[in-house]
Structure 1
Amino acid sequence: MPTLDRPRQPAGLREGGQFTATTRAEADLTLTAADRVRADRLLELTPATVVVLEAIRAAGGNAYLVGGCVRDRLLGHPAKDIDIEAYGLEPDRLRKVLSRVARVEEVGAAFSVLTVSRDGERLDVALPRRERRTGPGHRDFAVEVDPFCDVREASARRDFTVNALLYDPAADEIVDCWGGLGDLRDGVLRHTGPAFAEDPLRVLRGARFAARLGMRMHPATVDLARDLVPEFGSLSRERIWGEWSTMAATATRPSAWLDTLEQTGWLAHFPALADLRGVGQDDRWHPEGDVFEHTRQAADTAATLAEQHDLSGRDRAVVVLAAMLHDVGKATHTQQHPDGRITSHGHDTAGASTAATFLSDIGAPKEVRDLVAPIVAEHMVTAHGTAPTRQAVRRLARRLAPASIEQWALVVEADKRGRGAAARAGTTTAWLDIARAEGTQAAPVRRILTGADLIAAGWSPGPHFGPVLAASVSAQDESRFEDPAGARAWLASTYPTEPAG
């Protein structure tokens, strides 16, 4: 495996000279020795991947592993999705070749992307292409597939140099046309070329890579991203949410996402967070600085706690997003008093509404909004240090639903620990202990009294059932009854006669 302490590729290899092949058959010959670095078995290839690669080579083509699987393996991370780029075979020929060894689906006709399935494994196989932007939308591109395209030219369309690295498994070499190895060594996200500006979503992708991989944007890329600030409006909410949700589900340092957005000027597109910069806090409880700094630290802590609790996907994203948004209400509810005190009474309740609106604006589905908002609304429950009771825990579980007490506890812990010198463990353990004993750690206890019980008591169905059943839930959470017999007794004593329908 190549080490990342090699000298950066000479500037001429990235910026100077033309490397166009003189003939199609000589396309790969344009790569110089300096472009190739011995890999020492970079990737352990699965049997299915080996079969696909060998089929392409046997038909006279060349195949490279590209993109994130190469980058991540160089960083010492597992290579998850395997992406292959095939050169030297016409699209129909490639499809026929692969169909002999695997099941093939065309998932991107315009981009000639094939999904290949064999032995339970799915691989994406793409042909090199050229792209030319024809309009403001992310689909507004003229695409020219060219299986005989120069490798350097094809890799130039990728967003960052670290994503433009290719692995040649036949030669066991890394192909580095744009200085990606040096940038990977330095922890730098540098745009590969002018094509970066053709899709402004790449700014959010860069922020996501910074948050997951611990990298930083190169100053020149930051400048280019700033030029793209006005292009934000061309992005669909679906694509914006795709980057936000993936960041929240994978980031090790969500603060790097916020920092990159701030550096590039893109934070202004997310005012609920941008407005936290400069909002003061009482330094007795928050010596770390303003609310934005607290948000950075809480989000990072939430990611760490989510990792420790083996959360992934949506579950992890909800915890990280709730921690990042838990104090957004302070932007409107913070007061500076004449004696120097700073308070933010009511910011929890106000923040729930702000968080829900924010998530809606970035395209989050309702199920995510419904999970995050109640956690934000309830994150101050333990602030006064009052010992919890069974009744209090039951009521909290009911207010949080559909979010769980377990999710809430992680966010409260992140809030308490994300305070610089004042960081400390939260006070949620007692709440969790009671919740687990009550069976309410994941969801509220089920309602005991039902409409069937009311009918059995001789009541006629009608709209008056709703308020009575709601009152029964409150009584149940207050431990006024614990079983169906107790529920029926409560009904008889509380409602000796049926309310008017």
Structure 2
Amino acid sequence: MTDTTGLVSLTPAAIAVIHATAAAGGRPLVVGGSVRDALLDRPAKDIDLEIHGPTDVAELTSRLSVLGHVDHRGQAFGVLAIRVDGQDFDISFPRRDSMAGAGARGFGIDIDPNISVEQAFGRRDFTINAMGWNPLTGELIDPYDGASDLHAGILRHTTASFREDPLRVLRAVQFAGRFGFTLAPETAAECRDITDALAKSGGLSKAVSPERVWQEWRKLARRGTAWTNAMDTLVDTGLIRFYPELAATRGVEQDPGWHAEGDVWTHLALAAEQAAVNAERDDLSGTEREVAVLGALVHDLGKVTHTQNTDGRITSRGHAAAGVAPAAAFLRRIGAPERLLTRVTPIVREHMSHVGIEQPTSSQVRRLIRRLDTNGAGATIHDWARVVDADCAGRGPSAKPSPATRWLAVAAHATVGDAPRKGILTGEHLIARGYVPGPEFKPLLSAALDAQDDGWIHDEQSALVWLDAYEADRIER
């Protein structure tokens, strides 16, 4: 048997919290992801504790208050939260959950500190999350043999309580993508039964709040590197039916000369996976990683409507622009915030901008940067480059070097920059020339911006020279 004496690395703050819980009469167990990640030799930032046995909650609160502010969620959720020396701790009590409606408040909760560990852990989703570790004795408590499933790379549900929260089906997808695991056959069947029931009752969005759905997709985007497993699990669980924009890419053929990996579905999985691998390599996190990974996942959705096979020649002209609408629809369907859409959709529209250009000019790079950030909150050229990199690499045996590096090299030049330049010619200049503010301003300033991107305007003097030429040309016309 594996020695688990020092399984979870405990900080002084964690030790203090554990001793406080034990002093209040309870038996503290480190539970959930902390134990799972420790067995996988992955660092765990936060420690979750579950307190078994009769516990004086008032005394526990008093002892914890010496360490930090205690957030009482106990009345509704049976959880105390505390932050000690910058580390977060959730302290829960054994409970039985039942799904009573949509959203985080849709649970009926019965707190019972006297139920057995097996009963308490049986309400958890998967066996790999239904393990506990006693920090006082070093004992691993594993009533559902989660350690074996963990090392075998299998996601297996614990008990019939799995059905109580439909979001657990999406959690299966999230864990498959994070850990590269596959579903146990009986769990896949259970998930399909749940999605069949959801389909009859209005879909996932009727049963689960958008915030909770996005939380799972966000974890997948920020932590997942096995997107092929995630997308296989979308199919295996039947959950794919609720994401029609993505589902429609299955079987959409591609030119094997450019895409030897297979259909669009396969390409998107490989591209998202490559974006995630690159993000790990570059230590990318937060929104930047979400944009790169989800941008790669949706960049070719337009091929569904714009792919043609003419006498064996497969083309998809116009698919980049056509992909904007389904990409936005999919992102909204997974609950992504609008700020993410404003960054991803311009990348989808522009991801083919490099085609046919061996060496981009300063003007071409400036124009691309401006198109990517048309609303002032859009994508950067670095966002675009990451998706182009993933697109080129996510093609199996037909992977090719990305041209994005050449575009970034031009953007790095001081005369170009990697952000849209403000217009040098302004409305104030036009008013000084006698123009009256009105409809004529916009096209004129737009033309000046084009001239600036082309390098004709680079300071105020050259802007006024350009305006002289513009006015002279207009008179001649």
Which one of the candidate residues 480, 483, 500 is aligned to 2:456?
A: 480
Amino acid at match of 1:146: D
Match of 2:110 in 1: 144
Aligned position for 1:466 = 442
Please list every run of at least 4 consecutive aligned residues from structure 1 whose deviation after the TM superposition is greater than 6 angstroms: 496-499
Output aligned runs, 1:269-348, within 5 Å.
269-338=242-311, 340-348=312-320
* CA offset digits 1:379-410 (Å, max 9, x no partner): 11222243210000000001111201111111
Alpha-carbon distance, 1:184 to partner: 0.7
Residues 442, 312 of structure 1: alpha-carbon distance in 2 compared, 3 angstrom cutoff: farther
Task: Note the residue ranges of structure 2 that are not aligned, 5 or more in a row.
Answer: 199-203
In 1, are the aligned partners of 2:176 and 2:230 still within 8 Å (CA)? Answer: yes
The alignment's TM-score, normalised by the length of structure 1, stands at: 0.88
Which amino acid in 1 is paired with 2:107? F
CA drift of 1:158 comes to 0.5
Shift of 1:438: 4.2
Q: CA deviation at 1:468?
A: 2.3
C-alpha displacement at 1:440, in angstroms? Answer: 5.6
Structure 1 residue aligned with 2:371, among 394, 399, 411?
Answer: 399
1:327 aligned partner, one-letter code: D
Q: Distance in 1 between matches of 2:387 and 2:15?
A: 44
Q: Structure 1 counterpart of 2:224, which letter?
A: A
Task: Name stretches of at least 5 consecutive residues in structure 1 with no aligned partner.
Answer: 4-37
Residue matched to 1:24: none
Provide Cα deviations, 1:102-130, integer angstroms capped at 9, x if missing partner: 21112463112111122222211111211
Shift of 1:238: 2.0
Which residue of 241, 244, 269 maps to 2:214? 241
Partner Cα distance (1:352, 1:310) in 2: 28
CA distance in 2, matches of 1:211, 1:101: 37
| CA distance in 2 between partners of 1:144 and 1:220 (Å) | 28
Q: Contact between 1:108 and 1:114, CA under 8 Å: does it hold in 2?
A: yes
Would you say 1:46 and 2:46 are equivalent positions?
Answer: no
What is residue 177 of structure 1 aligned with on the other side? Answer: 143
| CA apart distance, 1:189 | 0.7
Tell me, in whole angstroms, the C-alpha distance in 2 between the residues paired with 1:448 and 1:475.
10
Aligned match of 1:111: 77
For 2:417 and 2:382, locate their aligned partners in 1 and report how far apart those are by CA, in whole Å: 6
1:210 aligns with 2:176: yes
Q: CA deviation at 1:464?
A: 3.4
Q: What corresponds to 1:371 in structure 2? A: 343
- Tell me the SS of whatever aligns to 1:248: helix
Question: Is this contact kept in 2: 1:406–1:441, CA < 8 A?
Answer: no
Within 2, Cα distance between the matches of 1:346 and 1:441? Answer: 29
Secondary structure of residue in 1 paired with 2:76: coil
Residue 109 of structure 2 aligns to a residue in which SS? strand
Please provide the CA RMSD for this pair.
2.0
* Structure 2 SS opposite 1:394: helix
Whole-angstrom distance in 2 between the partners of 1:150 and 1:439: 69
Secondary structure of the 1:195 match is helix
Aligned length: 463
CA positional deviation for 1:463: 4.3
TM normalised by structure 2 equals: 0.92
SS of the residue 2:344 aligns to:
helix
Q: Report the secondary structure of 1:228's partner residue.
A: helix
**2:42 pairs with 64, 67, 77, which one?**
77
Out of 239, 247, 257, the position equivalent to 1:266 is 239
Q: What amino acid does structure 1 have at the position aligned with 2:448?
A: S
Equivalent in the alignment of 2:120: 154
* Aligned mates of 1:442, 1:193 — CA distance in 2: 53
For the residues of structure 2 that align with 1:49 and 1:439, how far apart are their CA atoms? 53
The alignment-based identity, stated in percent, is 45
Q: State the alpha-carbon separation in 2 of the partners of residues 136 and 355 from structure 1.
A: 26
Greater displacement, 449-458 / 399-408? 449-458
Asked if the contact 1:329–1:347 (Cα under 8 Å) also holds between the matched residues in 2, the reply is: yes
- Quote how far apart the aligned CAs of 1:377 are: 0.9
Residue 495 of structure 1 corresponds to which residue in structure 2? Answer: 471
**1:305–1:136 distance in 2 versus 1, CA, 3 Å:** closer
Shift of 1:475: 1.3
Q: Deviations over 1:39-80 (max 9, x none)?
A: 130122111111111111122221111111110111011112
Pair 1:53–1:272, CA change in 2 (3 A): same
Match of 2:201 in 1: none
**Which of 407, 414, 425 is the matching residue for 2:401?**
425
In the other structure, the counterpart of 1:59 is 24
Is 2:397 the partner of 1:455? no
